[in-house]
A = this chain, B = another copy of it.
Amino acid sequence: MSSKMTKKRANLRDVAAAAGVSVATASRVMNTPEAVSEATRQKVQAAMDSLRFMPSAAARAINSGRSRFVGALVPTLDNAIFARYLSRLESQLDKHRLSLVVSTTDGIPEIEAEKARTLINIGAEGLIMSGITHRPALYELINRGGIPAIATSYYDPDFALPTIGYDNAAAAFTALSHLTGLGHSRISVIHGPTETNDRTGTRVEALRRRPDGAKIEFYLEPLSIEGGCSGVQRVLEARPDTTAILCMSDVQATGALYELQRCDISVPGGLSLLGIDDLPGSAHLCPGLTTVHLPVARMGLAAADAIAGWVENGTVPEPVLLESRLVNRSSTGRLGDVTLTEVTRTGAAD
């Protein structure tokens, strides 16, 4: 055994001692090398290399008060809509030299609050949440720490936190209007949980309040392809005179389309199908899914800028409303009409 088996990672004191300088000088070599003479710089550099010195992130953070990362809370990563959003969020945060910690909540408020606590415990400088419905404990946490926090996927200028998102009620109504404009009045809506998901809740509520002359029935299903499948089964059984199915998410619409095809019901000849989200794959279903495009990439970008401005300069961001819009592909048609509408080839980039 050698006399010194010190495996401990070298710190700045070790480096300084090895180089025969003070810790202050060693520190300067890292942060303000121009303030150190060339000879000393090289001495210290050599010591750092031979000791395999790596600065401690925690020690840095304790001085700067900065951790250089923020946390995002999303229901799931398995839905492409969130993946797309996070993708842009991460790349834009990177431009602000900020990293992204991702936490999934499964859409459960308790888990969200718990994960938010974890994010703050590990040092997140800011929080980006999904929607505006959260546990009181989460708000207390944010208030207590004065943590910059924004809510996304939902626009509400009156909300306590800055919101960056789209008008979910308008998106649902855009979808409904498209169907009623095509002559449909017996419409079945397949949607995910509304209790814990305010985006879905707002969409459903908008349709209940402004049925636009249509007779709408609602079917609650899990937010998955399978949910879309079973939703269609229920619709066909309970309401065979339905002429159009409106899914509150493209994931469910994908499942619905699959099930309709399995039942040999042509779309849009036999039944019109409409989604909300505009996933990357929705354009490539057959027929291409008509849907309401949600600008999640722009949202990721805006959210990144907003939280970055807040944590860097203390600028509390303004709410941002992003416009959703109908993407007319081939899964919807005029009532009683078999002519296909023009195909929009690929999804929009935003």
Residues of A in contact with B (beta carbons under 8 Å apart): 9, 52, 54-62, 65, 67-69, 71, 76-78, 80, 83-84, 86-87, 90-91, 94, 97, 99-104, 115, 118-123, 144-146, 225-226, 254-255, 257-258, 261, 280-281, 284-286, 346
With A58-B67, A146-B9, A254-B281 known as contacts, the answer to whether A91 contacts B118 (CB < 8 A) is no
Chain B, Cβ-Cβ closest to A282: B281
Considering the chains assembled together, what is the distance between the CA atoms of A77 and B296 in angstroms?
14
Contact A57 B255 (CB under 8 A): no
Can you name the residue of chain B whose Cβ is closest to the Cβ of A121? Answer: B57
Besides the contacts A90-B102, A255-B284, what 19 more A-B pairs have beta carbons closer than 8 Å?
Answer: A52-B144, A57-B67, A58-B58, A58-B62, A58-B67, A61-B123, A69-B101, A77-B77, A77-B86, A90-B103, A90-B104, A91-B104, A97-B118, A99-B103, A99-B119, A100-B103, A102-B102, A225-B281, A258-B284
Residue on B nearest A224 in the bound complex, by CB: B280
Q: Which chain B residues lie closer than 8 Å to A144 at the CB level?
A: 52, 54
Copies in the complex: 2
Q: Which residues of B contact A9 (CB under 8 A)?
A: 145-146
Question: Is the Cβ of A120 less than 8 Å from the Cβ of B54?
Answer: yes
Cα distance, A84 to B103, chains bound together (Å): 14
Residues of B within 8 Å of A103, CB to CB, are 90, 94, 99-100
**What is the minimal beta-carbon distance from A189 to any residue of chain B, in angstroms?**
21
Residues of B contacting A285 with CB < 8 Å?
A: 285-286
**Contact of A62 (CB < 8 Å), options: B56, B84, B94:** B56
Give the 9 A-B CB pairs with smallest separation, nearest first.
A57-B123, A58-B61, A77-B87, A83-B83, A58-B62, A54-B145, A258-B284, A77-B83, A68-B122
Whether A225 contacts B62 by the Cβ 8 Å rule is no
CB nearest neighbor in B for A124: B57
Chain B residues with Cβ below 8 Å from A261 are: 286
Q: Which residue of B lies closest to A125 (CB)?
A: B57
Residue of B nearest to A284 (CB): B258
Most B CB atoms within 10 A — which of A54, A68, A123, A286?
Answer: A123
Q: Given the complex, which residues of B lie within 8 Å of A281, measured CB to CB?
A: 225, 254, 281
Cβ–Cβ < 8 Å partners of A77 in chain B: 77, 83-84, 86-87, 90
Q: How far is the CB of A327 from chain B (nearest CB, A)?
A: 15
